[in-house]
Amino acid sequence: MAEKISIVTGANSGIGKETARALLREGYRVVMVCRSKEKAEAAREELIKDTGNENADILLCNLDSMQHVAETAKQITNKYSRIDLLVNNAGILPDGERTLTDEGLEYTFAVNHMAYFLMTRELLPLLKSTPGSRVINVASDAHNAGEFNPGNIRLEKGYSTMKAYGNSKLFNIMFTWQLAKELQGSGTSTFSLHPGVVNTNFASNSNSWFAKLFNMGRIFMISPEKGARTTVYLCTEKGIEQHSGKYFKNSKISKPGVYAAQDDDACRELWEMSERIVSEILPQAVAG
Ligand SMILES: NC(=O)c1ccc[n+]([C@@H]2O[C@H](COP(=O)([O-])OP(=O)(O)OC[C@H]3O[C@@H](n4cnc5c(N)ncnc54)[C@H](OP(=O)(O)O)[C@@H]3O)[C@@H](O)[C@H]2O)c1
């Protein structure tokens, strides 16, 4: 049997690291997509020691750069002949002030949505050629603070930490809904999820009031291992393919709290807008 390959973004910390640990235990090769060499190597060493599975590879990528995301996807395509699982997990809670990436995108929108979108889009041919492959998008119940306003997708008006984060997590659910449609008949399925409120490094680098509030509540939060359970369920549970596109909480289907999250027209519009943004930034990118 061919070795099963999983890609996990943000695999050096929190939910991503626990997902990588569980997949290594399941016998997968795990490709850890991380931005810090030091942190990635430390996590890799810990995971190998703990699981006894040495098949953990590191690919360095700063997901705030679409150029870098596209290059990383190309490296993956050149190096691996299949992808059984793509777990788009890396994410941030932004600062209180709106900041832009070098490519001119609002930072949260770039890392939390556009990187999910572009990484997946570029890996679609390999995903589709791997029987039973899955794309898991780590979203959040914070999508309830988000809205889909096509005229303000880059949050040029009315920026706040919660709006930027809430929008990005809403977009994760919308992207998953549309992706399921794009994947129909291909044998690849996709799911989004809320992991719970989890005591990870999340919010530890944000100067926002929300981060301060979040950090005060840490003792009430679940562990990263528990926080990874729904992700791992969606990676490994047999027979859930017919639920492709859906949003999960506690390993069960859940209804998002915002209508646009699963509205066909809105989800298609977000997809098309994301495509246009990619083609503005990377005119040479080839559609997946
Ligand atoms: N914790 C919660 O309560 C909670 C609740 C709902 C949803 N979530 C979602 O869960 C996911 C994982 O978060 P977590 O709680 O595990 O937080 P975490 O411990 O901070 O892990 C986040 C991971 O994303 C990576 N990352 C951030 N920005 C990146 C960039 N520009 N390029 C590459 N990697 C980047 C981080 O790398 P560094 O270590 O180098 O920073 C880290 O590996 C996120 O999508 C988050 O929105 C979390």
How many residues does this entry show for the chain? Answer: 288
Given the residues 165, 233, 247, 259, the one annotated as active site: 165
How confident is the prediction for the chain on average, in pLDDT?
96
Q: Measuring CA to CA, which residue among 128, 281, 91, 116 is closest to residue 203?
A: 91
pLDDT in tens, 122-163: 999 999 999 999 999 999 999 999 999 999 999 999 999 999
Complete edge-to-edge strand list for the sheet that includes strand 29-34:
56-60, 29-34, 5-9, 85-88, 134-138, 189-194, 247-249, 252-254
What pLDDT is recorded for position 2? 83
- The pairing of strands 5-9 and 29-34 is parallel
Among 64, 66, 198, residue to substitute to test ligand 1 (most atoms within 8 Å of Cβ) = 198
* Phi then psi dihedrals of residue 284, to 5 deg: -85, -5
Q: Is the pTM of this model over 0.75?
A: yes
Mean pLDDT throughout 82-110?
Answer: 97
Query: From CA 74, how far away is CA 129, in angstroms rounded?
Result: 16
**Residue spans per domain, the chain:** 5-281
pLDDT at res. 283:
87
Residue of 273, 202, 224, 235 lying closest to 25 (CA atoms)? 235
Q: Which CATH number fits domain 5-281: 3.40.190.10, 3.40.50.720, 1.20.1740.10, 3.40.50.920?
A: 3.40.50.720
Alpha-carbon radius of gyration of the chain: 17
pLDDT confidence band for 288 (50 / 70 / 90)? very low
- Name the pLDDT band for 284 (thresholds 50, 70, 90): confident
Report the pocket of ligand 1 as residue ranges, CB < 6 Å.
Answer: 10, 12-16, 34-36, 39, 62-64, 89-92, 111, 138, 140, 194-195, 197-198, 200-202
